[in-house]
Amino acid sequence: MKILLTNDDGIEAPGLWAAARALRLAGEVFVVAPDREQSGVGASLTLHSSVRVNPVLLDPSLDGDGSALYPVTAYSVEGTPGDSCILGLESVVGGVDLVVSGINAGSNLGWDVVVSGTVGAAIQGYVRGYPTIAISVGAVTNPQFEGAARLLHLIGRQLSERPAPSSFFLNINVPSLPLERIPGVRLTTLGRRSYGESVSEEGTGPERRYWISRNRPFSGEPKEGTDIWALKNNLVSITPLDINLNYQGQMTELESLLAGVPFQLLGHRD
C-alpha cells in the first residue's frame, strides 16, 4: 500500500512523524509537507508563483527501532498544505492508496474544517478520488500523539486488507490523552462553530494594525452526536465528510423572495 502523508504544521512537526512511524507499519509512506507551519490557511493554493520541492534527509531515529516494515521518503514544499498534497499526488509521488493529513496539534471540529489547513490539504486527496483521512489531537500545547498514531496504524492496516468504501473522507479528532483515559470512539456528525475570533488593534493612524486570533472557544452544550460533543467528552470522533455545501432547505422561500429579480435583470421573463 502506498500512502501520501501531509500536514499543515510543517515538515518538522512531531505529529507528522508520529503519523509516519505509525503508517510505515501499514504501507510505504511518502511525506510531502510544507516547509513551515501553515495552520489556518484552509484549502489555499499557490497559483501566482512557482513552488519549490526539496528532498528531506530522514531523521535516523525513524528507522532506529527496527520496527519499520516499509520505507519512508520525504519532501518539503515551499508552499501551502494544499500545494503539498497536489504536488505529491500529481508529480512527486503519483497515485496512492491512501492520503493522510496530520497528525495536527489542535482539534479541527465543526465548521472550523473550512479554516483548517489539515482538512484543506486532505480535500485535494478527496477530490481526486483517493481514500483520505485528516487527523488531529485535541491539544496545541504538549499534544499526545500516541492514541492518534495507534488509530492511524489500525485504520491503515484495515485499508490494506479491505478496500475503502468509495468517497472515503474522514475527519478524525483524538483527545490528547493516554489511551487508557479515552472511554470510547464515536462516528459523529460535523458540529457548528467551535471557535470564535477576537480582533485586537495596535497603533494609530496609518500605523494602525489588526490581529485576528481564534481564541474564543464556544461555550454551551454541543449537540450530542457531533464531533464537538465527542471531544468534550474525551471520545475519539470520526466524522465522514464530503464537500457538498449546497443547502436545499430554503428553495421555496428563496423562489418567492427573488421572484421579481429575473425580470428586473433581463427585462423579460426567462
- Judged by the rule CB under 5 A, the positions of this chain that interact with Mn ion are 8-9, 39, 104
With contact defined as beta carbons under 8 Å apart, do 137 and 103 qualify?
yes
CB 147: neighbour CB atoms within 10 A? 20
Cβ 256 to Mn ion, closest distance in Å? 43
Q: Check if the beta carbon of residue 132 is closer than 8 Å to that of residue 240.
A: no
Residue whose Cβ sits closest to Mn ion: 39
In the complex with Mn ion, the residue whose CB is nearer, 8 or 83, is 8
Q: Of the two residues 39 and 84, which places its CB atom closer to Mn ion in the complex?
A: 39
Minimum distance from CB of 215 to Mn ion (Å)? Answer: 15
| Alpha carbons 93 and 12: distance in angstroms, whole number | 20
- Please answer whether residues 94 and 73 qualify as being in contact, where contact means their C-beta atoms are separated by less than 8 angstroms: no
Query: Least distance to Mn ion from the beta carbon of 174, Å?
Result: 14
Residue 140 CB, nearest approach to Mn ion (Å): 8
Of 136 and 188, the one with the shorter C-beta distance to Mn ion is: 136
Cell of 136: 488531529
Triad 76, 169, 154: Cα angle to 5°: 80
Of 8 and 35, nearer to Mn ion (C-beta) is: 8
